[in-house]
Structure 1
Amino acid sequence: VYNVSSGTYTYTITCWNGSQSATDTVQAVVQGNTYTYLSVSKLARNISQNSSFLNSVNANQGDMVEFSIDVYTNGSGNAPATYVKDILPGYLDFIEGSVKVDGYTSPDTLLSSGLYLGDLYQGSHKQIKFSAYVMSGLPVGTNVLTNSSRAWASSISEVSDTAEVVVTIQGTNPTATISSQKTVRDTNDLNTPSGIYLEDVNTVPGRVLEFSIVVTGTGGTASTDVMVHDTLPAGLTYIAGSTTVDGSVAGDGIIAGGINIGTLNPGQSKTVKFRSTVRENTYFTSFVTKLINTVTVKGSNNTLAATDTANIWVSKSGRVLGATDIDTGVDMSMLSALLASSFGALGFSGFQVGKKAYWRGKIAQLRKAA
């Protein structure tokens, strides 16, 4: 049946053979096509400022705002098993127990799995309201917080609408900065307590050094994804598995791509430690070698990196300066005494000494005194 208006139609059928006839009737009910769809309208108002419901409202941090969601059934049919759901943006804090449907308190599932509205009949309408607080901590500038609502029913397509809360923050955004402090200790030095770390340390080949890096968040806001990268100089060998962050074992990437120690709030510190071994005696060609160890620290939102250094003075044992034919066997205590007593007398620069006889006498005195 087509091109026929809706209604009830009666059809009569008559059969006749020339002498007799038979008649019967049939009724046909023609219905129009059934088409049902939903529509949703979303508005907001500032309760703290007693504003009206609008598509976009202004608010301050700490204000209470209210949202209105109107769901309509349109067309010629019903909307079975209708749901509505709200997606609240960041910086809006939902007030539990504030959901109402047509003025009646309803479950808070509106913001999770969705709020069940039941079967909505042709031309019906439901109004849902709920409230939220504008949270603090918004960045400087104009912040548009967009709240979205969705409605759907069984075999009926989903529809949605949005409303905005505009929060303007005056001032200047705080910057995130970071600092680092690099120190070192000789773990084999029994004369220095284990908790004492220095910017400069004297050592000899083969010893184990422990480095300490204190990283501190500074500035007005947190530093995020803070990377710590250490550059070991030639003459030091990293000890695998020795890196810790605040005492917890970390990965071995500190001398490669660096390690991520996470977020540092202003004033918060984390301590990174690791160990290395001083190369063997034959590696060093000078009587005293200065090694500079450098750390670089930078967060993903830091404009500038922070760097610091620690100095390691390695004294080669077995030979003294140019006296290649004198086997001294000098150790750290003897070396310290030797340097302390000789600097002023010789007035040398860079440990350049010309008289072998002088060294023979000094070494003999030190050995005798020891």
Structure 2
Amino acid sequence: MERGFSLRTTATAGVAALLLHAVPAHAGGVAAGTLIENTATASFSANGASRTVNSNTVSITVDEVIDVAVASQDGAPIPSAGATTLRFLVTNSGNGPESYKLTVDPGVAGNDFDLQIDKLAIDTNGNGVYDEGVDTLLASGAATPALDPDGSLNILVVGTVPAGAADGGSSKVKLLAQAATGSGTPGTVFSGAGADGVDAVAGLSGADDDDAGEIVASLASVSLTKSATVADPFGGTQPVPGAIITYTIAAAVAGSGSATGLRVSDTFPTSTTYVANSLTLDGSALTDGTDSDAGEASVTGIGVDLGDLAAGTTRTVSFRVTIEN
């Protein structure tokens, strides 16, 4: 009598391919509610006959993993003297549909001032700017629409720098997203609360996440006032061919703090020719070339670097052009 057998298992509904091949994971992996079925098979010989026998089929339904990721989209602190908008991305990193309760916290420890929160909104058209009547307003703590796995929402936090904020002071604003199903330590189970009635399980994020954007108060403002005087070839002030126009640009810094890296530029008007070496700063001559002084003149216009100016400072740039004959 010959005896011998082999044992193998068969995964149905394409699960074998999923388990045996490296498939890039998206969101929380296999979708919540997916049925995983597996049957073992034994083959053997008895009295010269080959036989097979199957085990019972074991079925497991994949639970829903609830996860979320929140990321600031601004990249660097935003300078602002008044109204400002912070941008965030909220992503469903779980394996089932989920909505998220969003909460804005402007009172982050270490802030020099706290931003006054005016609006929390879904950036419906994705342009990074709050558009009245287009973007969807949310109350702080309200839930978003359900997001599919890997789905994201662009979120805008609109606020105002409060009066009394010191120039250069910084403020962080935190956006917290919590799964509407619930949150807790990773592995926390919410019985029957997942997709199609499966259990929901808090993922690595604990089903909540937050990130912060930052504002820097930049309270200085700059105004430019430009004027012109005309000297014609006859000793008058008529703008006739051959007349010389002197342009004067006053750059004034107001508010508090300072304006940094201030540069004044102007383009020569059509039908005029620049008068060489006529560029001045506060009445002192500047060379036309690009060199160690603050200004330069090209064939198209002038540029003068004023540097960092404290509030209350005014600098004056002037140059001349001739109306062409």
Same fold judged by TM-score > 0.5?
A: no
Q: TM-score, normalised by structure 2?
A: 0.40
Q: TM-score, normalised by structure 1?
A: 0.35
